[in-house]
């Protein structure tokens, strides 16, 4: 399953790069309204006072039907708004929040993310096979 991400300041991009997951796509201003017809896991940062970035909102308006899970970055200095974009997306689109990580994530966060994506992919593939 593809990992689709948005990186406002480069932190999420660095996190994704460190994960060494190769099947990825970055959301940009240029492609945020393009149709995307594959199942995906979304990774996004949180901006302002816990908001979902506009590019991510635009992408989800068009492509929420293929969203299977979300992970979010944030800064713990924001207290309850830490990585709030992930919780907002999870609740709005009824998908699991895989994890929250601070800024560009620790090495432990990267390993946790890779493991969760791997398990999510295994379960997704198993469900596809069973649906035939």
d(CA 81, CA 72): 11
List the chain pLDDT tens, one digit each, 132 residues: 899 999 999 999 999 999 999 999 999 999 999 999 999 999 999 998 889 999 999 999 999 999 999 999 998 877 788 899 999 999 999 999 999 999 999 999 999 999 999 988 787 766 655 555
pTM of the model: 0.91
The parent domain of residue 76 ranges over 2-130
pLDDT attached to residue 89: 98
Phi, psi of 46 (to 5 degrees): -120, 135
Q: How many Cα atoms occupy the beta-carbon half-sphere of 102 within 13 Å? A: 8
Instruction: Provide the domain count of the chain.
Output: 1
* 8 A C-beta contact, residue 22 and residue 67: no
Q: CATH code at 60?
A: 3.40.50.360
């Amino acid at each position: 399953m593809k990992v689709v991400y948005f990186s406002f300041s480069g932190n999420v991009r660095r996190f994704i790069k460190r994960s060494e997951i190769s099947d990825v796509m970055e959301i940009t201003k240029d492609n945020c309204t393009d149709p995307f017809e594959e199942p995906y896991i979304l990774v996004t940062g949180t901006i302002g006072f816990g908001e979902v970035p506009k590019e991510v909102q635009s992408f989800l308006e068009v492509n929420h039907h293929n969203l299977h899970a979300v992970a979010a970055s944030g800064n713990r200095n924001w207290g309850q708004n830490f990585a709030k974009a992930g919780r907002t997306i999870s609740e709005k689109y009824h998908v699991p929040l895989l994890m929250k990580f601070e800024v560009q994530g620790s090495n432990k966060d990267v390993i946790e993310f890779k493991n969760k994506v791997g398990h999510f992919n295994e379960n997704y593939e198993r469900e596809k096979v069973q649906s035939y």
